[in-house]
Structure 1
Amino acid sequence: MTLDPPTLLALTVALAAAAALYLAIEWRSVRESSLLYWSAGFATITVGSTLALLRMNGFLLIGIWFANGMLVFAHFCFLLGVARFTEVRLSRGWLLVVLVWVSLLLLPEGPSWSKIMLVVNSLLVALVSLRASFLLRPHGVSLSVGAVQLRYVMLIHGLFYVIKALTVVIPGTLIDLAAFRGEIIQISLIEGAMAIMLIALSMTGTERYRREERIALLAARDPLTALFNRRALEVRAPVLLRATSHERPGAVLLIDIDNFKLVNDLYGHTAGDRLLVALSETIRGLLPANALAARLGGDEFVILLGNARRDEVEVLGTILRERFQDIASQSFVTPMAVTLSIGANLFDQPPASLTALIEQSDAALYQSKRSGRDSMRLVDLTLTGD
């Protein structure tokens, strides 16, 4: 098969249509707006490449100006998709891209017409592509493999179009857009077909990684409170516990709601769920750095602290109890106060296991319950403890 311009355009149409369809199918299952923008971009390339074939029949306005304008618009869709993926808001100044391209209608026909069209088209595509690549740069965290690939594919794609624009200044360069004549046009068509495959694969990998990451995150979270569940806590706690030492003691607070059953009995389980969410939000708001919080089940929660001092643990427990009691008393009137009982341990040696640590705190919690509830029992297991 000869790689002449019509054949390359037909190949581009097939690849772009397949990419648009595949990303649209992905969007139907994932519902990520970035996929929809990227699918629209490839669909636009499909239409634009089809219209580009019309220039050989003398339809220059549609086959050149309109077709190349759709190429610019397609890359703008790619940029919008990247902006959605990275959660960056684009300025309205990017609308000037459209105005610049529309202004080419005023360009008089002449010997340099094809070169000017090629320069403007190339620079606009390069500008949009490089901006998309810039948005995908790491922001203090590692990008997924797909996002890294997309970043560099867009970077190389943008630089190619910069070089494409610069070739116009080379003496003796032949550029005839109407007849698809000129080496740079042939090379551009080949690069375009390759770029479609690489960009589509990178986009798919980017969103697939994010979807898997979100699934893993959901599996680690309690569905009601969005705190970690027990399984996730068991995975993350060892790192924090291993760092425990005499200089950096750790602490655990086991939290239980007093008279929680009254809320469920008097106001229904939906009200009880609201109270659990309120407690989780209070915990999240008070949680210091280097700490973990989880819902163990029912109305039982746990907080793990690293590098904690006794006075800090006592202050945290007091504030948590006071804020929760204010919320519960204002929301629900019950025969007995809905409060918190807390069993806490302060330790300077890594425990045998998270389970053993929770069992120690459970004993302290039991003592707190027996002493009248609405209190915190702190057991200091450090070398300097009482």
Structure 2
Amino acid sequence: MDLQPKNLTKKKQTIVFFLGALSLFCIITLDYIASKQRQSSYFFRSSLSQPKTSPSTSISPSLADVILSTLFRLGVPKDAVQSHLDNQNTLHVLVNLPAREYSQLAPSLKKQLASQTYGSPLIEKHQLGTTSYHLWNITRDQNKAVILFQSPLRLLRSEKTLSPSLTQIKRQNKVAIIIDDMGNSLKAIDSICRLGYPVTIAILPHSQFAQETAQLAHQYGLEVLLHLPLEPLPGNNNFHGNSPSSSMSMINSQMATPEIVAFINDCLQNIPYAIGVNNHQGSLITSNPRLMTIILQEIKKRGLIFIDSRTTNQSVAYQIAKSLNIPTSYRKIFLDNEVSSPKIKEQFIKLLQRARHDGWAVAIGHPWEETLLILKEYQDLFSDYDCQPVPVSEIVPQSPSD
């Protein structure tokens, strides 16, 4: 009888402990729920008051930021700087700067690039006429930039920048020479600008120095064409030098009209000062009337001329351009299908003979050293054959239907 009250007391204690523990659990649970809902909380208040932290990351300034901020910090006026990011994420910067200021600025810019682990730029120096050019090529991982500094120099009286015999004396027979595949080096445009007579520059839109080449050509009064990459026939994709590496870098036969239009627009954005278009490769596309009509209608909308490179004798591009009333012409002579000086000279003479016979002729060459040397050393042949070198736009009105 004496044990019953003790057992009853233990049961009551157990029940009280259980209810207390349950109550505490409920309180903590409710407090946790409140903390998750960002309401007033006691037990979890300290964890909420601490903001979430992410692993520390050091984000270095972009290459564009480093270059432009350094230029402006060193006193280069903003209106002396033009910059553009192309579709391959390469930054192009054109800086107009007196030669003396460039000499003072260059070491500081090099130092700033090195401090941001971009290393030392590759620098080319060119002098064309009264202007000195310094081309900086900067590459690290996916960061690429091209800076072209141009500095006017004093013109010495003894300097000769033009050839009066070719630019002032007008002859009846006109010759237009187009140099294709430009934009991969400034050495070629340097040599062409020194020729002293008109040569038309056709620039590949995705070449490394496309914009800089167009800028220099324009400054020296040379006409610029977009060298539009078009799909060739199978097995015919090694036509001269700098071919697109894949079907994505050219207009191909599987593209829909909006894709073709977008590709042309993108290419033209990379070639400032373009007055027209000629085709790079394209034996498959230029023999397709439907695709050429799409391309030429877009060219017509922009008021550009079109030159058919005629990489195939099946091309219909010239005829369609004529039917659309686009100012147009076509290539008659390739100067350097065989890259040897004797062959190139032979083709150059054929060009002049053809122009003397027909009254006009368009030739296409490429920036091989041999080609540019022939154009320099044998320019007296123009007068021997009574021919006048002209920009290709001067040929367009003379080109008859054939």
TM range (shorter): under 0.3
Of Structure 1 and Structure 2, the greater strand share is in 2
Greater C-alpha radius of gyration? 2
Of Structure 1 and Structure 2, the greater helix share is in 1
Per the normalisation by structure 2, the TM-score is 0.23
Per the normalisation by structure 1, the TM-score is 0.24
